[in-house]
Amino acid sequence: MRTSADDPVVLLDAFGQWAGTRPKHTVHHACTPFHLAFSCHVVDPRGRTLLTRRAATKGTFPATWSNACCGHPLPGETLRSAVTRRLAAELGLAPVRMGLALPDFAYRASLDGIVEHELCPVVIAEVTGSPDPDPDECDDHEWADWPAVLARATERPDSLSPWSVRQFARLDRLVPAAGGPLAWLDEHAGADGAVGLDRPLVEARTNGNGDSPFGGAGNGFGTGNGNGAFGGAGNGAGAGAFALDG
């Protein structure tokens, strides 16, 4: 019987380009390869942010509080589809609207010898229902006001996943001080916030002349002249890997 552990994870090279796939259950270990993922930060109509605790049985960062939901886009899957799929599977939620806030977030972190190493675009999504978590994914959750989330990430970073702490810090510089992520959605969930949501994030490697989903024509994130799935046409010259957050 096929399970999500058998789903293919998209592997990336140092420039964010397609490097093949592996079954999910083989990817995370002490030498985890760089791969494609996403993080979703969920807000409700009151502007509260959803925090979840990863199930104690999860293979990576078990029993760790974090942003609402994370996942791995399937080969050829759009970011909107991947976020919608995982919100339903993990939390029983359906997004009302979403926007791509941090298209270039990448990080590496480890716990108990298991490494996460991901290009992990960050999406903000609004929901109206109440979570109904899958206990194999999430064993607790809470809603918190945005200032309280930022205070926790600043004052008690060890109480949250390392990627969420870095994401909260970057979102703090991006979203309006008054209103937080919900206010950002009000401003950006239209045409500009939708950029990057509706085409595959990574496609099979081209010969170097095709358009890269990350804004470069076969030569790295943010370089070259290709049209990117994240909405920016790269304007640099020459190849170069992007920096990891943190």
**Whether 105 contacts 122, CB under 8 Å:** yes
**Active-site entry in 70, 90, 120, 126:** 70
Strand partners, 109: 116
Rounded to an integer, what distance in angstroms lies between the CA atom of residue 161 and that of residue 147? 18
**Active-site entry in 77, 90, 118, 137:** 118
Rounded to an integer, what distance in angstroms lies between the CA atom of residue 4 and that of residue 25? 9
191: its two tokens: 């045409």
Per DSSP, the chain holds a count of helices (H) and strands (E) of 5, 12
Q: What is the DSSP string of 140-170?
A: EEEEE-HHHHHHHHHH-GGGS-HHHHHHHHH
- 77 catalytically annotated: no
Look at phi and psi of residue 221 and say left if phi exceeds 0, alpha if psi is from -120 to 50, else beta: beta
Distances (CA, A) of 117 to 14, 34, 137, 244: 11, 5, 20, 9
111: its two tokens: 């716990």
- 70 catalytically annotated: yes
Hey, is 174 helix, strand or coil? Answer: helix
Which residues are identified as catalytic?
70, 118
